[in-house]
Amino acid sequence: MSLFHPHADAPHLQLVTPPAAMPGGEAEVHGSNLGPASHVIPSATIGDTSAAVILSRPTRATVRIPDGTITGDLVLHRNGASSNPLNLRIAVPMAENLHPVSNPAVDAEGNVYATLSGSRGQETPVSIFRIQRDFQMTPFVRGLLNPTGLAFSPDGYLYASSRAEGTVYRISPEGAISTYAEGMGIATGIAFDGDGNLFVGDRSGTIFKIARGDAQGSSGEIFVYATLEPSMAAYHLAFNDAGTLFVTGPTTSSNQAVHAIDRDGNTTVFYRGLGRAQGMAFDVDDNLYVAASLHGQRGIIRITPQREASLAVSGQNLVGLAFLEDGCAALATRDALYHVALDIEGRPLI
């Protein structure tokens, strides 16, 4: 067989979706000659790592990403012949032994903050960890019960909600804690708008607005901004550039909605059809990214301003995400953070 006459039965790959995956996730390849040969299912490699093909048809195959895989070329092997390579980006661990329940937060220097939240009422040795750009993890806050939502304010302070206490705390760059607002019910997701006002989701269905406080760290006026149906889990909040607040409240339904709340507190359904929708983030083009499932596929779902949804990252047990510098993202699972290059510029939050 010469280079000018490749194997007639060699598989050919045209497209891999999604373009990124986590270990345990799945990638679907489209092309030709991808089905079994002589009743033998094709195999795959990603770089130097072997990966299982769990579905194989003539024009489509599904590959499961094994632990330990790194970004590399995906190649399908069939009947002694190998396909052309397609690059697949793989998320790698950046911090373990955590318990995030929402998005991580990122400060102006690119450090990432994540919680060890624990079950309700459970005290953990460390409440919030700081993960530096080189993935070194150090304790940042202790003594905060059930930290849930995290967000940085324009003044560089980290704010954290406690779902056990219904309190929002203000945390200095050195890790000193002070009470910012109380009486927030089962306080969950939090987010700042462009004016420095803080919004807090209460699991009972209330979204509170806390007017921007003073330089000494005291909060402004607190009032009810909007009301939604009660949620079985945490509300997750995110703003787009227009100042519209987007809210998810995961339930057991596979037909969940992402709600949009305008500046006057009016609520509409932005998108319906997700399963277990949780943490969210926007890119600079106003695309919304949600940790959820779509048509049975779990991972990070991308929803355009035109409300077209697709899988951006395949992965299990995701609860949130945060965009980093250089087009990368931190992905939060129930017990860890992962780092992945996506070539997506996130909407600035600070």
The structure's pTM equals 0.94
Tokens of residue 297, six digits: 């596929």
Give the integer Cα–Cα distance in Å for 283 and 347. 5
What is the per-residue DSSP string for 33-78? S-S-BTTB--EEEETTEEE-EEEEETTEEEEEPPTT--SEEEEEEE
Say how far residue 6 (Cα) sits from the centre of its chain. Answer: 42
Architecture of domain 92-341: 6 Propeller (2.120)
Q: Which amino acid is at 167?
A: T
Phi, psi of 326 (to 5 degrees): 60, 30
Sequence length of the chain is 350
Record: fold of 12-90: Immunoglobulin-like (2.60.40)
Sign of CA dihedral 87, 88, 93, 94: positive
Query: Could you give the residue range(s) of every CATH 2.120.10.30 domain in the chain?
Result: 92-341
Residue range(s) occupied by CATH 2.60.40.10 in the chain: 12-90
Predicted confidence pLDDT, tens digits, the chain (350 residues): 444 445 668 999 999 999 999 999 999 999 999 999 888 899 999 999 999 999 999 999 999 999 999 999 999 999 899 999 999 999 999 999 999 999 999 999 999 999 999 998 899 999 999 999 999 999 999 999 999 999 999 889 999 999 999 999 999 999 999 999 999 999 999 999 999 999 999 988 899 999 987 766 677 889 999 998 877 566 899 999 999 999 998 776 778 999 999 999 999 999 999 999 999 999 999 999 999 999 999 999 999 999 999 999 999 999 999 999 899 999 999 999 999 999 999 999 97
